[in-house]
Amino acid sequence: MKLAVFLSDWRRTEDSFERLKADKMGVVLVGNGIYHAVVKENGKDSPVLSKAGASYYVLADDLEIRGYTAANVNSKVKVISYGDIVDLIMNDYEKTAWL
């Protein structure tokens, strides 16, 4: 299964997230989920970014409205637009999950 997971909050959702398994996984950081892409705690990346084999994306609009730019984003994460999200859903992944 090809699964796109939307993380919309900064709250700890690792328990649910860690249980998710897929042949191919894309993680889309939106809303307050964008903090996973820009904040380090004690010098470490968010645990969300450690999913083996996953691809990471962050919504540019939600970054900018919180005062961040692409320059602030973790190198594991690609900055994308709403149109890019549509393409991910329609072309690259079969199922979606919202956490």
* Residues of this chain that bind another protein (CB under 8 A): 6, 8-9, 30-32, 61-62, 81-83, 85-87, 89-90, 94, 96, 98-99
Q: Assign 79 to helix, strand or coil.
A: strand
- Least separation, in Å, of the C-beta of 20 and another protein? 15
- Least separation, in Å, of the C-beta of 44 and another protein? 25
Q: Which two tokens stand for residue 40?
A: 């380090």
- Least separation, in Å, of the C-beta of 83 and another protein? 5
Beta bridge partners of 56: 27, 77
Give whichever of 71 and 90 is closer to another protein, judged by the CB atom. 90
Q: Which residues contact 42 (CB under 8 A, 6 or more apart)?
A: none
Q: How many CA atoms lie within 13 A of 92 on its CB side?
A: 16
Give whichever of 4 and 77 is closer to another protein, judged by the CB atom. 4
Give whichever of 16 and 50 is closer to another protein, judged by the CB atom. 16
CA–CA–CA angle 53, 87, 94 (5° rounding): 60
